Amino acid sequence: MSDYEILDERFGRLIHRPARLERLWTGGRWTEGPVYVPAARHVIWSDIPNNRLMRLEEVEGRTAVFETPCGHHNGHTLDAEGRIIACEHSGRRVSRLEHDGRWRTLADSFNGGRFNSPNDAVVKSDGSIWFTDPTYGIDSDYEGYIMPSEQDGAHVYRLDPASGALTRVITDMVQPNGLAFSPDESLLYVADTGATHVPGMKGEMRVYPVAADGASVGEGRPFATCGAGLFDGFRVDRHGNIWASSEDSVRVHAPDGSLIGRILIPEIVSNLCFGGPNRNRLYITATTSLYAIYVNTAPAR
């Protein structure tokens, strides 16, 4: 059985048909937030209910616990210096792993109230960190701890780590989750997993035009609806295609929004990232496991 469903030849050019999906590790409860660290040639990801970070050493293929407990980390990304930026559920903060090995708080509150539970983050070329703050880490004692929200909703924020300036950039979503910029950073894509809290809502991804100031966005519009379950985390390749998580596969949407193909995954996909020395290996977190597959594209650099 093929690992692919090719719906459009544009997708056919983005994959290596003989390349097979590999399960590199299993044994987690809910894995998320993979990030590839080029200088270390390792992948770090979250196993949220177990309150731990896992690490795959890419050359030898060994996996070990990287850190536990850890504030129930969820999403991760890298900044321009190669430092890991983390979204923490029970930590209720965005933090950064400094070169000395310590986690430093970058932001933990807005207008005097603690964040809900930062979920996923992306770093823009100007160094700003854009992150989502849904309530999953304070809704239960499984992926964090039950705690009251101190915000008036779940929003998207922009943090300038140099000045500490923190602004709300999107306030019209229910549960903003994964997010990523288009290669030229003129567009910001954000998944809304509000269907977990609003009956009848669909898994949708919205797209927002980045304003001329580069620090805010204009009015958003629907970009794509998920064909199975919900979009959670996703990444954008150098051609602007969106590689998105879903219940049954990694779904690839072209910049025009059309679904052009799928990589079939035997567990519910939560998130993914491009890795390897050439960034052409897709690392995929899906429920209990870490998967990988080589693809014929890479993110913009």
Residue 172: CB minimum distance to Mg ion, A: 19
Residue 238: CB minimum distance to Mg ion, A: 23
Binding-site member from 88, 120, 133, 237 for Mg ion (CB under 5 A) = 120
Binding-site member from 51, 177, 245, 280 for Mg ion (CB under 5 A) = 177
Q: Quick one: how far is CA 205 from the chain centroid?
A: 13
178 vs 220 by CB, closer to Mg ion: 178
Sign of the CA dihedral running 160, 164, 170, 174: positive
Mapped onto helix, strand or coil, the DSSP state of residue 288 is: coil
- Mask for 135-174, x = binds Mg ion (CB under 5 A): ----------------------------------------
- CB under 5 A: which stretch of 96-104, 118-126, 199-207, 273-281 binds Mg ion? 118-126
Residues between 219 and 248 that touch Mg ion (CB under 5 A): 232-233
- Closest to 166 measured CA to CA, from 238, 219, 227, 93: 93
**Max alpha carbon distance in the chain (Å)?**
54
Q: Quick one: how far is CA 39 from the chain centroid?
A: 20
Residue 32: CB minimum distance to Mg ion, A: 6
Neighbour order of strands in the sheet with 84-88: 73-78, 84-88, 93-97, 103-107
Residue 75: CB minimum distance to Mg ion, A: 6
Tokens coding 176: 């903003």
Residues 6+ apart with CB under 8 A from 208: 170, 187, 188, 189, 190, 217, 218, 219, 220
- CB under 5 A: which stretch of 89-97, 175-183, 200-208, 260-268 binds Mg ion? 175-183
Binding-site member from 77, 90, 119, 175 for Mg ion (CB under 5 A) = 119
Residue ranges that bind Mg ion, judged by CB under 5 A = 119-120, 177, 232-233
